[in-house]
Amino acid sequence: MMEMPDAILICGGLGTRLKTVLGQLPKPLVEVNGRPFLDYLVDDLIATGVSRIIFSSGYRAQVIREHYSNRRDAEFVFSEETSPLGTAGALKLAESRVRSEVFLAMNGDSYCAINYKNFLESHRRRKARASLALVEVTDASDYGGVRMDDAGWIRNFAEKTTAGRGRVNAGIYLFSREVFASIPAGQPCSLEREVFPTLLETGVAGYLVNAALYDIGTPERLERARAYFAGRSLRP
């Protein structure tokens, strides 16, 4: 049986475009059909065998900590920013809490129905330093496209300018521990803009997922996520 690695959920965003919906809640805890959005990601990770989940949080981090303090179906660990560090800076801060040699990282404000075990198997088979889950969307202009070669290695990242169909970053990653060495400590740093481009020459694998990407960045997208999860309001 394949042992699943530690997972880091990146939950530091302010959710400024959702303020009228969130109130004082951190964005990943926004209500989706009677449950916090983040619960759906946590449930999926546990169902696939992940037993150790690290919450990398910032704004109102104590609310996330309190929400998971009474759950006993996995080991929950907390890495909390005192100031915003960006997606890569948040991972670097959590480095000492990661025990596995390969670790899963994912955005806490988006969801894609991925087979985590197949993703891990692909990452290990290809001996990649980093693997990115990718999805096809009809309009990549709001995400920024990702170009992958015929062998499945990512060659470049495009800015949020080109309209039309394309492959985009689903916000789900697998990393070897050595990637931590590419991230500066104690300062803001972005995975997308600063870390991934430096890793391209040493091997960033793309993993195409045949599923839709749901994020909760705007009230309209939040409603689409609520429609998708309408039949999953209860914990499995």
Among 180, 10, 174, smallest CA distance to 104 is for 174
Q: What is the 3-state secondary structure (H, E, C) of the chain?
A: CCCCCCEEEEECCCCHHHHHHHCCCCHHHCEECCEEHHHHHHHHHHHCCCCEEEEEECCCHHHHHHHHCCCCCCEEEEEECCCCCHHHHHHHHCHHHCCCCEEEEEECCEEECCCHHHHHHHHHHHCCCEEEEEEEECCHHHCCEEEECCCCEEEEECCCCCCCCEEEEEEEEEEEHHHHHHCCCCCCCCHHHHHHHHHHHHCEEEEECCCCEEECCCHHHHHHHHHHCCCCCCCC
Q: Is 69 left (phi over 0), alpha (psi -120 to 50) or beta?
A: alpha
Q: Which residues are catalytic?
A: 160
- Give the number of residues written for the chain: 236
